Amino acid sequence: MIKSLAHVALLVDDYDKAIEYYLHTLNFKLLEDTVISDTKRWVLVSPGSSGGCSILLAKASDEEQKSRIGNQTGGRVFLFLYSDNLQRDYQTLLDNKVRIIDPPRTEPYGSVFVFKDTYGNLWDMIEPNPK
What's the CA gap between 35 and 9, in Å, rounded?
17
Q: What CATH number matches the domain at 1-69, 2.40.128.120, 3.20.20.10, 3.40.50.880, 3.10.180.10?
A: 3.10.180.10
**pLDDT 10s digits, 8-63:** 999 999 999 999 999 999 999 999 999 999 999 999 999 986 678 999 999 999 99
Q: What pLDDT, on a 0 to 100 scale, did the predictor assign at position 26?
A: 95
| CATH class name, domain 71-131 | alpha beta
Answer yes or no: same fold for 1-69 and 71-131.
Answer: yes
Q: What pLDDT, on a 0 to 100 scale, did the predictor assign at position 49?
A: 64
Pair 118, 104: CB distance under 8 Å = no
**pLDDT 10s digits, 86-129:** 999 999 999 999 999 999 999 999 999 999 999 999 999 999 99
Q: What is the dihedral of CA 110, 111, 112, 113, to 10 degrees?
A: 170
Pair 7, 54: CB distance under 8 Å = yes
